[in-house]
């Protein structure tokens, strides 16, 4: 299947790296007459605040996809880190809900968690969340790299395990009464710039530089393209593989920080159902599921498009089911376009 | 169109990645004539035949089959039009039977019903096989056949379409001597039956023996088309590479030094190698000969650290290398050009410049953060590309996949040269590349040796080893059985060694 004959500028647009961005702009322009408040200040704020956490997590997934793997456990990492961080910071827990929790009486009490009220609560909690996320990632990576288990199976098992752990720790209850300093991370601004944006953009820029400008990045692309040839050429593919899953876990933890701060609670079911959003947005951006191909900028465009799409579908008052069907259809379309574009680009050269 | 011709190419042109693969080629095929088609890798031979076979369309020009305009949309149309194409990589299915393979696209059906007529299938297949003197039952699974026999099945498939034109693309690469003879007599017979035959091969001696006419392609253009009597081998080579050509091997300018740069001591791994001891001196080219399966590649992989070994030590210079650690080997100064560049040597979908820079990345990246100095890398890559004469468009925009076989091999070698290795192991480095590129590889090896690198050169071609090496060791069944210094080189004795027939009077072929 190849592209049909086209005039020059549509052809250039489709083959361009910014295709998804152009598509997003076109989509917004088409819908704007029907939903004028789409570009209103409030809605744009909504779109952006949805974008930052999703982008942070998708950046991590990008690393894993480029290595020719996949991380299905990111949402469970979000859940378990959300719960652990909240447990450390919380300033009050209802005994009726939490007395069955395994930590009740040891770390948790009616006054909240072990650092309740202390100024160290938020930094320690954040550190703990990042650490837990990274360690789970390292575990995933070790299984894939050393035991040579397929990434799909390893991360699926992690997903099941850690979702269950999160629920077990809180007996399915949400943890509230989190300190204001923490909530500011997800909801507050530094001047006019949301803190969530600062965090995510810093993460994304660092990730982009890592992937596109460093020796590590080249070794990552090599591993994703041909692990055998990479190994012969002296690339430590095991180190690369372990690192991408650790990065993915770390990014999932950052996403969890932002989401939990916005929701003002530690949720054992955080991220549930969002796996499609994460992987779908990355794939829409053009990152290949087969490995070796993808950039952080592409993920950015994919997430932007996805968030705009979800937002407009909501504004159009479509039912929950219709929205999911449309999302699925769009991802299918994106994958199809990717195949056609790859062929067209090869023919063009 | 000439009355005697059955097929004509007129003004065919084709571009890939901006480079002309074929430029205004006009050629005629005649029934009962074998046309030898020769040229370097990338000269356009396969491209021209792929156009005739319906695999790719030409950008310009036309083709005529028996006087009619011929423009196949796909290989199926070409087959039905009577053009049989025996590819270098056979397009057969090992899990299916001979009959199923032959009639995959044209199963005889029962009258009116959508079921396969098994009896007609078996009978027709038996007839085809009989005409080729093949004694197999039509239901034999293809995986039970040797490569030479599989090739005959592919030929039977071409004949089942009553092809009038049969194209052979490098048919002898995986054949034994006996199978080759059988193929040649078959080609003579097909010629006698009035088929037009195209024979593409790098083995110029075979081309001269078989062909009635020879066409030479160079850089996409037809530079000669003459009766075979007018084109001796050296004339063919000169036309193929476009310059005068005295020798297949460059003159040796280096002499091996005293210092031992690679020492392999009592290397053993059950079932693979036994007590292998090798010493390579700085500036020495040590050849490794042996039959397929004698353990040469396996030994090289163990030396480099890709595979384990039970006992033995590997020393580069003064330091002993840990086992199973390619990174340590590379850091110690070792380099390994593997046997199959596609699977182990190159990242096909990655740019040429990234491929070239892959091993030596650490040299081009800053200590903190590992950020790559792209300018320095680009310069270094450009230098190596020029030194090795890698012919290509932009190194940064194009992938390794876009290069011809010979240029791909040069990229693999170039990648390792960028690390300035002390020891370079090369496993069949000239396999599947043309005469001109081979000469360039030999020249590179000579230069490296004169700069003090020790080279371990594994090859299955004795003449090649004799032309370049200072010494040749012979492997057989996992052991080194003989070591030939240069003044004792003899093709017959080295071959006999590999067969463990040192003292036998005559060698049975």
Residue of A nearest to B329 (CA): A234
Q: Which of A262, A192, A225 is nearest to B400 (CA)?
A: A225
To the nearest whole angstrom, how far is the Cα of A224 from the nearest Cα of chain B? Answer: 10
Using the predicted structure, report yes or no on whether residue A152 has a pLDDT greater than 90: yes
CB B354 within 8 A of CB A230: no
Would you say A216 and A123 are in contact if contact means Cβ atoms under 8 Å apart? no
Q: Which two structure tokens, joined as six digits, stand for A326?
A: 């449309």
Nearest to A67 by CA among A287, A275, A280, A254: A287
Which residue of A214, A232, A290, A348 is the best one to mutate when testing the B interface, meaning the one whose CB has the most B CBs within 10 A? A232
For chain B, residues with pLDDT lower than 70 are 1-3, 17-18, 41-42, 174, 243-247, 501-509
Query: In angstroms, rounded to a whole number, what is the distance separating the alpha carbons of residues B308 and B299?
Result: 10
A94-122 pLDDT per residue, tens:
888 887 888 887 778 777 788 888 888 89
Closest partner residue to B344 among A216, A222, A232, by Cβ? A232
User: Which element (helix H / strand E) includes B15?
Assistant: strand B7-16
Residue of chain B whose alpha carbon sits nearest to that of A207: B369
- For residue B105, give every residue at least 6 positions away whose Cβ sits within 8 Å of its Cβ, in sequence order, or none: B76, B79
Contact B372 A209 (CB under 8 A): no
- Mutate: best of B361, B398, B417, partner A, most A CBs <10 A: B361
pLDDT > 70: percent of chain A: 95
Closest Cβ opposite residue A232 in set B306, B362, B371: B306
Q: Would the CB atoms of B327 and A214 count as touching at under 8 Å?
A: no
CA nearest to B302 within chain A: A232
Q: DSSP string spanning B127-145?
A: HHHHHTT----TT-BGGGS
* Percent of chain A topping pLDDT 90: 52
Phi then psi dihedrals of residue A150, to 5 deg: -65, 135
B87 and B30 Cβ atoms separated by less than 8 Å: no
Question: Which residues in chain A touch residue B402, judged by CB atoms under 8 angstroms apart?
Answer: 349
Q: Judging by DSSP bridges, how do beta strands B19-29 and B7-16 pair with one another?
A: antiparallel
Phi, psi of B396 (to 5 degrees): -90, -25
Chain B contact set for A230 (CB, 8 A):
347, 358
- Distance (Å, rounded) from C-alpha B85 to C-alpha B78? 9
Q: Which two tokens stand for residue A75?
A: 């949402």
- What stretch of H or E contains B494? helix B491-498
Structure-block tokens of residue A285? 């951006």
Task: With CB atoms and an 8 Å threshold, state whether B398 touches A349.
Answer: yes
Pairing relation of β-strands B34-39 and B213-218?
Answer: parallel
Cα–Cα dist B127/B133, whole Å: 10
Residue A4: pLDDT over 70: no
Burial of B162-184, coded b for 16+ CB within 10 Å and e otherwise, reads ebbbbbbbbbbeebeeebeebbb
Q: How far is A183 from chain B (nearest CA, A)?
A: 32
Please tell me whether residue B359 adopts helix, strand or coil conformation. coil
Q: Tell if the CB–CB gap between B343 and A226 is shorter than 8 Å.
A: yes
B141: closest CA of chain A, how far (Å): 32
pLDDT value, residue A51: 94
- Alpha-carbon span B237 to B496, nearest angstrom: 30
Q: Do B345 and A222 touch (CB under 8 A)?
A: no
Confidence of residue A135 (pLDDT cuts 50, 70, 90): very high
Chain B residues closer than 8 Å to A229 by CB: 343-347
Cα separation, B396 vs A16, in Å, equals: 17
Q: Give the DSSP per-residue string, B58-113.
A: -SEEEEEETTEEE--SSHHHHHHHTEEEE-SS----TTSBHHHHHTTT---B-TTS
- Burial, A92: exposed, middle or buried (Cβ in 10 Å; 0-12, 13-18, 19+)? middle
Residue B371 C-alpha, separation from nearest chain A C-alpha, in angstroms: 4
pLDDT at B177: 75
Mutation for A interface: B330, B347, B365, most A CBs within 10 A: B347
Report whether A199 contacts A254 (CB < 8 A).
yes
* pLDDT attached to residue B198: 95
Domains of chain B: 7-241 (3.40.50.300), 248-333+421-509 (3.40.50.300), 352-416 (no CATH)
How many angstroms from the chain centroid is the CA of residue B177? 17
Closest chain B CA to residue A236: B327
Instruction: Judge contact between B150 and B90, C-beta under 8 A.
Output: yes
pLDDT at residue A95, as a whole number: 80
Considering only CB atoms, which residues of chain B are within 8 Å of chain A? Answer: 17-18, 304, 306, 326-327, 330, 336, 338, 343-350, 354, 357-359, 361-362, 364-365, 369-372, 374, 397-398, 402, 415
- Rounded to whole angstroms, how far apart are CA atoms A185 and A263? 11
Answer yes or no: is pLDDT of A52 > 50: yes
Residues of A in Cβ contact (< 8 Å) with B369: 214
Task: Read off the pLDDT band of A346 (50, 70, 90).
Answer: low
Q: Is B362 in contact with A292 (Cβ distance < 8 A)?
A: no
Could you tell me which residues come within 8 angstroms of residue A206 by beta carbon, excluding any fewer than 6 positions away? none
Asked if B347 and A222 come within 8 Å (Cβ–Cβ), the reply is yes
Quick check: helix, strand or coil at residue B318?
coil
Both tokens of B436, joined, read 């001109």
> Which of A211, A234, A295 is best to mutate for the B interface (most B CBs within 10 A)?
A234
Q: Which CATH class is domain A18-348?
A: mainly alpha
Cβ distance of A349 and B346 shorter than 8 Å: no
In chain B, the residue whose alpha carbon lies closest to the alpha carbon of A225 is B347
Q: What is the mean pLDDT of chain A?
A: 89
Task: Choose the closest CB to B370 out of A216, A226, A234.
Answer: A216
HSE toward the beta carbon, residue B84, CA cutoff 13 A = 24
What's the pLDDT tens digit per position in B442-476? Answer: 988 999 999 999 999 999 888 889 889 999 999 98
The confidence score (pLDDT) of residue A218 equals 94
Helices A195-213 and A180-187 cross at an angle (nearest 10°) of 60
- Rounded-to-integer distance, Cα B448 and Cα B17, Å: 32
A313 and A323 Cβ atoms separated by less than 8 Å: yes
Q: Look at the block and give the residue holding tokens 């790559």.
A: B372
User: Chain B contacts of A236, Cβ < 8 Å?
Assistant: 327
User: Are B446 and B250 spatial neighbours (Cβ–Cβ below 8 Å)?
Assistant: yes
Q: How far apart are CA B381 and CA B66, in angstroms?
A: 50
Rg, C-alpha atoms of chain B: 25
Say what the pLDDT of residue A141 is.
Answer: 97
Tell if the CB–CB gap between B347 and A235 is shorter than 8 Å. no
Q: Measured between alpha carbons, how far apart are the two ends of chain A, in Å?
A: 17
The percent of chain B in helix, strand and coil, each rounded to the nearest 5, is 35, 25, 40
Structure token pair of residue B351: 């740019």
Residue in A209, A216, A349 nearest the CB of B17: A349
Task: Please tell me which of the candidates A214, A231, A292 has its beta carbon nearest to residue B369.
Answer: A214
Closest CA to B103 of B112, B116, B88: B116
CA-based nearest distance A282→chain B, Å = 20
Q: Tell which wins on pLDDT, A3 or B404.
A: B404
Q: Which residues pair with B109 in a beta bridge?
A: B116
Give the pLDDT of residue B505: 44
Side-chain half-sphere CA neighbours of B489 within 13 A: 17
From the CA atom positions of chain A, what is the Rg in Å?
21
Domain boundaries, given as residue ranges, for chain A: 18-348
- The Cα-based distances of A245 to A181, A219, A251, B384 in angstroms read 30, 15, 10, 36
Q: Which of A218, A234, A349 sits opposite B327 (nearest CB)?
A: A234
Size of the A and B interface in Cβ pairs below 8 Å:
75
Which residues of chain B are within 8 Å of residue A66 when distances are taken between CB atoms? none
- Which chain A residue has the Cα nearest residue B400? A225
Q: Which three-class secondary structure string do you get for chain A?
A: CCCCCCCHHHHHHHHCCCHHHHHHHHHHHHHCCCCHHHHCHHHHHHHHHHHHHHHHHHHHHHHHHHCCCCCCCHHHHHHHHHHHHHHHHCCCCCHHHHCCCCCECCCEECCECCCCCCCCHHHHHHHHHHHHHHHHHHHHHHHHHCCCCCHHHHHHHHHHHHHHHHHHHHCCCCECCCCHHHHHHHHCEECCEEHHHHHHHHHHHHHHHHHHHEHHHHHHHHHHHCHHHHHHCCCCHHHHHHHHHHHHHHHHHHHHHHHHHHHCCECCCCCCCCHHHHHHHHHHHCCCCCCCCCCHHHHHHHHHHHHHHHHHHHHCCCCHHHHHHHHHHHHHHHHHHHHHHHHHHHHHC
Residue among B49, B13, B43, B47 at smallest CA distance from B29 = B49
Would the CB atoms of A230 and B358 count as touching at under 8 Å? yes
Task: Phi first, then psi: give them for residue B485, nearest 5 degrees.
Answer: -75, 160
| Cβ neighbours of B370 in A, within 8 Å | 214-216
């Amino acid at each position: 299947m190849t592209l049909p004959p086209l005039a020059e500028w549509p052809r250039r647009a489709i083959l361009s790296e910014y295709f998804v961005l152009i598509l997003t702009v076109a989509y917004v322009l088409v819908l704007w007459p029907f939903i004028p408040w789409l570009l209103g200040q409030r809605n744009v704020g909504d779109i952006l605040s949805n974008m930052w956490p999703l982008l942070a997590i998708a950046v991590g997934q990008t690393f894993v996809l480029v290595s020719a793997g996949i991380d299905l456990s990111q949402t469970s990492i979000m859940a378990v880190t959300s719960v652990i961080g909240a447990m450390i910071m919380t300033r009050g827990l209802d005994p009726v809900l939490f007395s069955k929790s395994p930590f009740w009486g040891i770390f948790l009490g009616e006054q909240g968690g072990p650092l309740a009220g202390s100024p160290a609560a938020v930094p320690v909690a954040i550190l703990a969340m990042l650490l837990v996320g990274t360690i789970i990632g390292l575990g995933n990576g070790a299984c894939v790299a050393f035991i040579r288990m397929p990434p799909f199976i390893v991360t699926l098992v992690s997903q099941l395990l850690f979702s269950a752990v999160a629920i077990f720790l809180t007996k399915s209850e949400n943890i509230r009464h989190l300190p204001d300093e923490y909530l500011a991370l997800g909801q507050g601004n530094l001047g006019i710039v949301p803190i969530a944006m600062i965090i995510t953009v810093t993460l994304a820029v660092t990730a982009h530089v890592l992937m596109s400008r460093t020796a590590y990045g080249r070794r990552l692309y090599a591993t994703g393209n041909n692990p055998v040839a990479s190994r012969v050429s002296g690339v430590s593919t095991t180190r690369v593989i372990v690192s991408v899953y650790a990065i993915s876990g770390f990014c999932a933890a950052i996403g969890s920080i932002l989401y939990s701060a916005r929701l003002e609670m530690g949720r054992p079911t955080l991220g549930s159902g969002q796996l499609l959003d994460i992987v779908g947005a990355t794939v829409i951006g053009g990152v290949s599921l087969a490995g070796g191909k993808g950039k952080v900028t592409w993920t950015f465009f994919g997430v932007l498009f996805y968030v705009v799409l979800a937002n407009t579908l909501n504004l159009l008052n479509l039912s929950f089911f219709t929205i999911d069907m449309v999302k699925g259809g769009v991802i299918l379309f994106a994958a199809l376009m990717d195949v056609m574009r790859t062929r067209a680009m090869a023919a063009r050269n | 169109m000439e009355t005697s011709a059955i097929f004509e190419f007129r003004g065919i042109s084709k571009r890939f990645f901006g480079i002309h693969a074929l430029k205004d080629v006009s050629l005629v095929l005649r029934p009962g004539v074998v046309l030898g088609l020769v040229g370097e890798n990338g000269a356009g031979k396969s491209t021209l035949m792929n156009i005739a076979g319906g695999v790719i369309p030409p950008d310009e020009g036309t083709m005529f089959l028996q006087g009619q305009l011929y423009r196949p949309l796909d290989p199926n149309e070409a087959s039905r039009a009577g053009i049989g194409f025996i590819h270098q990589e056979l397009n057969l299915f090992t899990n299916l039977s001979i009959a199923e393979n032959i009639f995959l696209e044209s199963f005889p059906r029962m009258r009116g019903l959508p079921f396969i007529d098994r009896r007609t299938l078996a009978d027709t297949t038996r007839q085809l096989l009989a005409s080729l003197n093949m004694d197999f039952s039509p239901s034999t699974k293809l995986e039970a056949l040797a490569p030479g026999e599989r090739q005959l099945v592919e030929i039977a498939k071409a004949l089942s379409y009553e092809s009038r034109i049969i194209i052979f693309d490098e048919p002898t690469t995986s054949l034994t001597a006996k199978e080759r003879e059988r193929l040649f007599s078959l080609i003579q017979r097909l010629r006698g039956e009035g088929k037009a035959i195209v024979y593409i091969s790098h083995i110029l001696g075979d081309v001269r023996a078989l062909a009635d006419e020879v066409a030479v392609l160079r850089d996409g253009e037809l530079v000669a088309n003459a009766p075979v009597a007018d084109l001796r081998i050296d004339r063919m080579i000169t036309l193929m590479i476009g310059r005068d050509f005295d020798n297949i091997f460059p003159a040796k300018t280096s002499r091996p030094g005293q210092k031992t740069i690679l020492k392999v001591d009592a290397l053993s791994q059950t079932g693979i190698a036994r007590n292998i001891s090798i010493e390579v001196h700085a500036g020495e080219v040590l050849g490794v000969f042996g039959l397929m399966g004698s353990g040469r590649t396996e030994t090289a992989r163990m030396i480099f650290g890709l595979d384990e070994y039970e006992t033995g030590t590997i020393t580069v210079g003064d330091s002993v290398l840990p086992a199973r650690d390619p990174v340590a080997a590379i850091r110690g100064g070792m380099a390994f050009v593997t046997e199959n560049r596609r699977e182990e040597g190159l990242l096909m979908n990655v740019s040429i410049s990234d491929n070239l820079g892959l091993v030596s990345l650490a040299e081009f990246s800053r200590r903190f953060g590992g950020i790559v100095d792209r300018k320095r890398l680009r310069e270094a890559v450009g230098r190596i590309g020029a030194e090795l004469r890698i012919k290509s468009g932009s190194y940064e925009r194009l992938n390794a996949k876009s290069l011809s076989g010979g240029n791909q091999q040069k990229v693999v070698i170039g990648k390792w040269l960028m690390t300035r290795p002390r020891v370079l192991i090369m496993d069949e480095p000239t396999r599947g590349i043309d005469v001109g590129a081979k000469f360039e590889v030999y020249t590179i090896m000579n230069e490296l040796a004169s700069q003090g690198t020790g080279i371990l050169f594994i090859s299955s071609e004795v003449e090649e080893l004799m032309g370049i090496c200072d010494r040749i060791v012979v492997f057989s069944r996992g052991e080194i059985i003989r070591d030939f210094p240069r003044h004792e080189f003899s093709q017959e004795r080295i071959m006999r060694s590999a067969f463990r027939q040192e003292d036998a009077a005559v060698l049975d072929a």
